[in-house]
Amino acid sequence: MLTELSRLIDVQEIDKVIQEVTQGLTRLPEELKAGEAALEELKAAHAARLQELEDLKAQRRDTETEMADMEESIKTSRQRLMEIKSNIEYKAMLKEIAFKEDQRDQRETRILHFMDLMETQNRLITEQQQQIEELEATLARQRQEVAVQVKKLQQELAELEERRKKARKGVPAPLMKRYEFIRQRRNSSAICPVHEGVCLGCHMNILPQQFIDLQKGLEILQCPHCQRILYWADEMGEADAASQPVH
């Protein structure tokens, strides 16, 4: 195998690890951001439920005031009832008192309903508060873990970049340029092995003569179908190369 091709294979292997590390550096903050967004959403729901509870309290107070006013009105009507002489007026007043008592009873029922709703809201608010505290604790731990992991990945990335610089020194500039061009268009896979005359990048057969030339290892060859740079592993490593997927 040509020395520059061997070096280029090393560069691609380093590039694959660099890509994984870079993806990790992107993914970790995004996962943390997703957790923080979930916390903000939970806090917003908690605030809305607290407001609903305050609204229920206000409605209960208003209904209690109406009920108290109704009780006072019923009391006044009963006092007036004692002063009425006419049978017709007496019956009309009894009817009025019955109506007011019905209105009072309806308000009492509403107050009991508000109390049930408030009890439910208080229970849900307590559960939400517990969820918020648990999520805040989880995020606090996650922030620390992410900070440690990011620092580690940054150090690893710096080491990989240094290794890449050394590896690419043995690769001619035109070949390196060709590699970068193919890599951008082939999902970061610019070089791939050939197994039994098949390019493992696109899984298409290359020309028989091209396969013979590839085995000689005297020149840089590219797949006529996917344009990836090709190499032929020796007999010991050919099976291993065939088992490795090319993305």
What does each of the 247 residues of the chain score in pLDDT, given as a tens digit? 788 999 999 999 999 999 999 999 999 999 999 999 999 999 999 999 999 999 999 999 999 999 999 999 999 999 998 888 899 999 999 999 999 999 999 999 999 999 999 999 999 999 999 999 999 999 999 999 999 999 999 999 999 999 999 999 889 999 999 999 999 998 889 999 999 999 999 999 999 999 999 998 889 999 999 999 999 875 335 444 444 444 4
Spacing of C-alpha 152 from chain mean position? 23
How far from 27 is each of 21, 23, 98, 139, 227, CA to CA, in Å? 10, 6, 70, 15, 31
* Euclidean distance between CA atoms 57 and 242, whole angstroms: 72
- Single-letter code of the amino acid located at 92: A
Strand partners, 221: 230
Amino acid residing at 44? A
Tokens of 224: 């006529």
Q: What is the pLDDT of residue 85?
A: 86
How many CB atoms are located within 10 Å of the residue 228 CB?
25
Q: What is the pLDDT of residue 243?
A: 44
| Amino acid in position 222 | Q
> Vertex 83, ends 81 and 88: CA angle to 5°?
60
Q: CA-to-CA distance for 147 and 169, rounded, in angstroms?
A: 34
Order of strands, sheet of 191-195, starting from the edge strand that comes earlier in the sequence:
198-199, 191-195, 229-231, 221-222
Cβ–Cβ under 8 Å, residues 223 and 210: no
The DSSP line for the chain is: --HHHHHHHHHHHHHHHHHHHHHHHHHHHHHHHHHHHHHHHHHHHHHHHHHHHHHHHHHHHHHHHHHHHHHHHHHHHHHHHTT---HHHHHHHHHHHHHHHHHHHHHHHHHHHHHHHHHHHHHHHHHHHHHHHHHHHHHHHHHHHHHHHHHHHHHHHHHHHHHHHHHHTTS-HHHHHHHHHHHHHTTT--EEEEETTEETTT--BPPHHHHHHHHHT-S-EE-TTT--EEE---HHHHHHHHHS---
Residues 6+ away with beta carbon under 8 Å from 24: 149, 153
The reported pLDDT for the residue numbered 236 is 32
| 12 vs 188: CA distance, rounded Å | 8
